[in-house]
Structure 1
Amino acid sequence: MTAAELKGITAGELTKKIINKNELFILDVRNDSDFQDWRIEGTNIEMINAPYFDLIDGVDAIIDKIPDDKEVVVVCAKEGSSLFVAEQLVEQGKHHVSYLVGGMKAWSEHLEPVLAGDLKDSGAIYQFVRIGKGCLSYMIVSGGEAAVIDTLRMTEVMEDFAREKNAVIKHTLDTHLHADHISGGLKLAQRTGAAYWLPPKDADEVVFSYNKLEEHAEITVGNTSIHIQPIYSPGHTIGSTSLLVDNQYLLSGDILFVQSIGRPDLAGKAEDWVSDLRDTLYNRYKQLPEDLIVLPAHFGKATELGEGGKVSARLGDLFKENPGLNMENELEFRKAVTENLPPQPNAYQEIRQVNMGKMTPTDEEQRDMEIGPNRCAIHDK
């Protein structure tokens, strides 16, 4: 292969390789601080960081570290630097080299649809894995209708997918007021004529109209009577609301994850909301059937990706294995969720303002606000 024949790999193609646990070698040429803050992860990934500015005059210093027997992907912020370095590697005789098209910005925005499960009468629930940021959105499809939960600002992905499934989007829901990413729920509702639902206790400062996502709300998808039952579950936010779907699935929002639990501090109310968080996890969730399949709004690590890339777990198993559900001492729990937390998400205060409708940043500003990992869990890195 010559530099002229060098090919790029898209975020979608790279996602499938990671989901399939293919062996990869990633050369990340961003600066060290950006690399330490946020990087591509996977089960069979070997990786080194060599800043682009150290490679402008050549790749001799790292050439011996680049394997000949693995696929090599060069990664940078936007694409240009990785293309330059990949070309140099090829010129030095390295094979199986590609560069990430669109860089980490494209990686941050890719959504991978995964079948999360079938519904009892007909239809299905799909999980959209935002692998570069750890966000999880959902679409329930039944009887020619769809409901979208915790959707992201890339709403065209949801519109296209609904069209593929011959479904009309009738509802969009946010389980809470998000602080780590910009919601696409209201935007998608406006584009499709759907009803937009938001927990009222999180909506004190919003400047738009919405339907109140409360426990008595009636939300039905399709003529097969697939019901979405809201369950008030505060703790991550004061309004956090889980969704029981078809009596099979528990969409837990940012309250409960596969390997951790939600943090209560992103609205500056950690001390106030700790008791709510514990009550939700140790009392409200305990009253639910253990066979429910938990579908969270985030994941923290690539190890949480299961078969086909799906992130899910049986509720009863989480009560046995999730460390956040096994702190019997209330003081220990309070300390775990208020002290030594990971850094807060990038621009999280501004993101909350956007999700309230108080700020309207440009598309590029929105991308910059969301750069980095989600960090909604107490045990995230």
Structure 2
Amino acid sequence: MTIQAMKAGELAKVVINKEELFILDVRNTDQFDEWKVEGEGIEMMNKPYFDLIEGVDEIVDQIPHDKDILVVCAKEGSSKFVAEMLSEAKGQDIYYLEGGMKAWSEHLEPIKVGDLDGGGAVYQFVRLGKGCLSYLIVSDDEGAMIDPLRLVSQYKDFADALGIKVLHMFDTHLHADHISGGRRLAESTGGTYYLPPKDAGEVTFKYETLEDGKEVTFGEANVRVKAVYTPGHTIGSTSLIVNDTYLFTGDILFIDSIGRPDLAGKAEDWVSDLRESLYVRYKALDQELLVLPAHFAKLKELDEQGRVFARLGDLYKTNEGLMVEDEEEFRRMVSENLPPQPNSYQEIRQTNMGKLSPSPEEETEMEIGPNRCAVS
């Protein structure tokens, strides 16, 4: 019997396809409780590595024979060691996660959302390990990215495979839960980086302003990106409408929740902005627009293909954050009893302003853990 590496992309397919898998997570219990691989077909067990150094006899009977077994740890080494012992003890092939939870956190799964009228297409990059969503809009041989992550090599590889050049990078706001890749992509491709000016008061680099009503048209298919000012998550939060079909909401509106207003310490100040954006500005838009958010919180938000989107009008019937009639009740909901703030969110904001330049290893550590941009 042998051990075999399972790549993060292979695990992503298991999660999206709701396939059965048994995972033995050998990280410390506090790390496991904070953040883990999740999936409808996944059965999970946590046993810290240091409890297994002398052998796996105490857990062998708890590991099933009729499922694929995957051992995961933080970076790979410990899982390989445990997988070898488990394979020998059980007499069956055992998988270990190549690159560990670090690789899982950083994997982007590209999925086509749909085509655009007049030519072009929209692709969604699903970061299953953190709940982040970013987008590539294609117009012939030219592309634009919305809310790109720091993992720029994965975008470049995908763009190269499509034979396009990405020349327009949009951040809907100054992110606090992940490091943006917008400026890096613009620098590497010679493209333009767009950022809402009200979020950019402390940035240390040049950018193109993304203001209410601004339109950017690109490619031979004349794909149109229109900015709609929707503050509340941050004071500069700006949504984007593409070809009157797709509404990119950033962290203002999700499929199952709404954005939190406190990540810049302005919860009380921004509650009214948040309500105005959700209950007035969005209601004035075409309700047939398809909402594409920058995050998801639960796997149930993914459809059978792994995509995350919904019709705007439908969300006013299903999203509880959009159905609070009383303003005071809404204020309490979005300013009290909020979940913990994202890991290293202040350092991430500083990095996205250009004030900090962490190493790649430090960037990984800053982003480890789940996203926490939603109210609940």
Q: Which residue of structure 1 aligns with residue 231 of structure 2? A: 234
Q: Which residue of structure 2 aligns with residue 67 of structure 1? A: 64
Q: Per-residue deviation at 1:59?
A: 1.2
1:88-99 aligned at under 5 Å gives the runs: 88-99=85-96
Matched, 1:56 2:53: yes
Per-residue CA deviations over 1:339-370 (Å, capped at 9, x if unaligned) read 11111110000000000000001111111111
Q: 2:325 aligns with which of 321, 328, 353?
A: 328
Matched, 1:141 2:138: yes
Q: Per-residue deviation at 1:72?
A: 1.1
Provide closer, same or farther for how the CA distance between residues 305 and 95 of structure 1 changes in structure 2, counting only shifts above 3 A.
farther
Matched, 1:374 2:371: yes
What is the distance in 2 between the residues matched to 1:97 and 1:200?
Answer: 51
Unpaired runs of at least 5, structure 1: none
Query: What TM-score, normalized to structure 2?
Result: 0.98
Q: Which residue of structure 1 aligns with residue 345 of structure 2? A: 348
Q: Which residue of structure 1 aligns with residue 171 of structure 2? A: 174
Per-residue CA deviations over 1:108-130 (Å, capped at 9, x if unaligned) read 10001000111001110000011
Tell me the secondary structure at the aligned position of residue 114 of structure 2. strand
Per-residue CA deviations over 1:310-349 (Å, capped at 9, x if unaligned) read 1111111111001111111111111111111111110000
Q: Which residue of structure 1 aligns with residue 74 of structure 2? A: 77
Tell me the secondary structure at the aligned position of residue 135 of structure 2. strand
What is the distance in 1 between the residues matched to 2:286 and 2:223?
Answer: 18
Matched, 1:282 2:279: yes
Tell me the secondary structure at the aligned position of residue 292 of structure 2. strand
Alignment-mate amino acid for residue 78 of structure 2:
S
What is the distance in 1 between the residues matched to 2:374 and 2:92?
Answer: 39
8 Å contact from structure 1 (residues 206, 357) kept in 2: yes
Which moves more between the two structures, 351-360 or 65-74? 65-74
Q: 1:363 aligns with which of 357, 360, 365?
A: 360
Matched, 1:309 2:306: yes
Provide closer, same or farther for how the CA distance between residues 96 and 23 of structure 1 changes in structure 2, counting only shifts above 3 A.
farther
8 Å contact from structure 1 (residues 141, 221) kept in 2: no
Q: Per-residue deviation at 1:45?
A: 1.0
What is the distance in 1 between the residues matched to 2:224 and 2:205?
Answer: 26
Per-residue CA deviations over 1:253-284 (Å, capped at 9, x if unaligned) read 00011111111110000000011001100111
What is the distance in 2 between the residues matched to 1:123 and 1:219?
Answer: 15
What is the distance in 2 between the residues matched to 1:35 and 1:93?
Answer: 24
Q: Per-residue deviation at 1:94?
A: 4.7
Q: 2:187 aligns with which of 186, 190, 199?
A: 190
Q: Per-residue deviation at 1:96?
A: 4.4
Tell me the secondary structure at the aligned position of residue 341 of structure 1. coil
Tell me the secondary structure at the aligned position of residue 65 of structure 1. coil
Q: Per-residue deviation at 1:218?
A: 2.5
CA-atom RMSD, angstroms? 0.9
Q: 1:46 aligns with which of 26, 43, 64?
A: 43
Alignment-mate amino acid for residue 353 of structure 2:
M
What is the distance in 2 between the residues matched to 1:103 and 1:327?
Answer: 42
1:152-231 aligned at under 5 Å gives the runs: 152-231=149-228
What is the distance in 1 between the residues matched to 2:326 and 2:172?
Answer: 28
8 Å contact from structure 2 (residues 213, 228) kept in 1: no
8 Å contact from structure 1 (residues 242, 253) kept in 2: yes
Q: Which residue of structure 2 aligns with residue 9 of structure 1? A: 6
What is the distance in 2 between the residues matched to 1:284 and 1:326?
Answer: 15
8 Å contact from structure 1 (residues 9, 98) kept in 2: yes
What is the distance in 2 between the residues matched to 1:101 and 1:46?
Answer: 19
Alignment-mate amino acid for residue 7 of structure 2:
T
8 Å contact from structure 1 (residues 41, 301) kept in 2: no
Q: Which residue of structure 2 aligns with residue 21 of structure 1? A: 18
8 Å contact from structure 2 (residues 3, 93) kept in 1: no
Which moves more between the two structures, 67-76 or 348-357? 67-76
Q: Per-residue deviation at 1:48?
A: 1.1
Tell me the secondary structure at the aligned position of residue 263 of structure 1. coil
Tell me the secondary structure at the aligned position of residue 92 of structure 1. helix
Tell me the secondary structure at the aligned position of residue 58 of structure 2. coil
Q: 1:297 aligns with which of 281, 284, 294?
A: 294
Per-residue CA deviations over 1:168-221 (Å, capped at 9, x if unaligned) read 112001000000000010010000001110000000000001000012322112
8 Å contact from structure 1 (residues 42, 303) kept in 2: no
Q: Per-residue deviation at 1:95?
A: 2.5
What is the distance in 2 between the residues matched to 1:96 and 1:114?
Answer: 31
Matched, 1:115 2:104: no
Matched, 1:131 2:128: yes
Tell me the secondary structure at the aligned position of residue 278 of structure 1. helix
Q: 1:33 aligns with which of 30, 33, 40?
A: 30
Q: Per-residue deviation at 1:144?
A: 1.3
What is the distance in 1 between the residues matched to 2:242 and 2:346?
Answer: 31
What is the distance in 2 between the residues matched to 1:24 and 1:160?
Answer: 29
Alignment-mate amino acid for residue 246 of structure 1:
N
8 Å contact from structure 2 (residues 22, 70) kept in 1: yes
Tell me the secondary structure at the aligned position of residue 113 of structure 1. strand
8 Å contact from structure 1 (residues 70, 96) kept in 2: no
What is the distance in 2 between the residues matched to 1:80 and 1:49?
Answer: 16
| Identity level (%) | 62
Segments ≥4 residues shifted beyond 6 Å? none
Unpaired runs of at least 5, structure 2: none
